[in-house]
Amino acid sequence: MHLEKINFPNANLEKFGWNSFFASQQTAGIAGRVASVDREGFVVWTEAGEVYCEASGALRNAAALWPAVGDWVMLREDGPVIEKVLERSTKLSRKRPERDMREQVLAANIDVLFIVSGLDRDYNPRRLERYLVMARESGARPVILLNKADLAEEMGLNLDEVVSATRAIAGEAKVLPMSARIEQGIDAIEAELKPGETAAMIGSSGVGKSTILNRLLGSERQQTQSVRDGDNRGRHTTTTRELFLMPGGWLLIDMPGIREIQLWAAADGLDDSFEDIRELAASCRFRDCSHKGEPGCAVENAGLDEARLENYKKMQRELAHLERKANPVLAKETRAKWNATEKSVRKNDKRNR
Ligand code: GDP
Residue 281's pLDDT is what? 76
Quote the ligand 1 centre to 147 CA distance (angstroms): 8
Quote the ligand 1 centre to 136 CA distance (angstroms): 26
Residues for the chain: how many in total? 353
Residue 10's pLDDT is what? 64
Q: Please give the single-letter amino acid code of residue 12.
A: N
First to last CA, the chain: 70
Whether residue 169 contacts residue 125, with contact meaning beta carbons closer than 8 Å, is answered with yes
* pTM reported for the whole predicted model: 0.84
Ligand 1 proximity of 147 Cβ (cutoff 6 Å): yes
Q: How many helices (H) and strands (E) does the chain have?
A: 12, 13
Quote the ligand 1 centre to 179 CA distance (angstroms): 9
Quote the ligand 1 centre to 208 CA distance (angstroms): 4
Ligand 1 proximity of 256 Cβ (cutoff 6 Å): yes
Ligand 1 proximity of 210 Cβ (cutoff 6 Å): yes
**Residue 161 Cα distances to 32, 127, 158, 253, angstroms:** 45, 18, 5, 30
Residue 263's pLDDT is what? 83
Quote the ligand 1 centre to 238 CA distance (angstroms): 20
Strands 141-147 and 174-177: parallel
Residue 227's pLDDT is what? 38
Residue 230's pLDDT is what? 40
Domains and CATH numbers, the chain: 13-85 (2.40.50.140), 91-254 (3.40.50.300), 274-352 (1.10.40.50)
Ligand 1 proximity of 92 Cβ (cutoff 6 Å): no
Quote the ligand 1 centre to 307 CA distance (angstroms): 28
Ligand 1 proximity of 179 Cβ (cutoff 6 Å): yes
Coil, helix or strand for 274? coil
Q: What is the mean pLDDT of each run of 10 residues along the chain (353 residues)?
A: 56 92 95 92 92 92 88 94 96 84 91 95 90 93 97 91 94 95 95 97 91 85 41 45 92 85 82 82 71 72 81 87 74 68 55 45
Ligand 1 proximity of 209 Cβ (cutoff 6 Å): yes
Please list, in sequence order, all residues whose beta carbon lies within 8 angstroms of the beta carbon of residue 122, skipping any fewer than 6 positions away. Answer: 203, 204, 206, 207
**Residue 82 Cα distances to 52, 53, 92, 261, angstroms:** 10, 7, 21, 28
Strands 112-118 and 198-202: parallel
Ligand 1 proximity of 181 Cβ (cutoff 6 Å): yes
Q: Please give the single-letter amino acid code of residue 272.
A: D
| Rounded Cα–Cα distance for residues 80 and 42 (Å) | 10
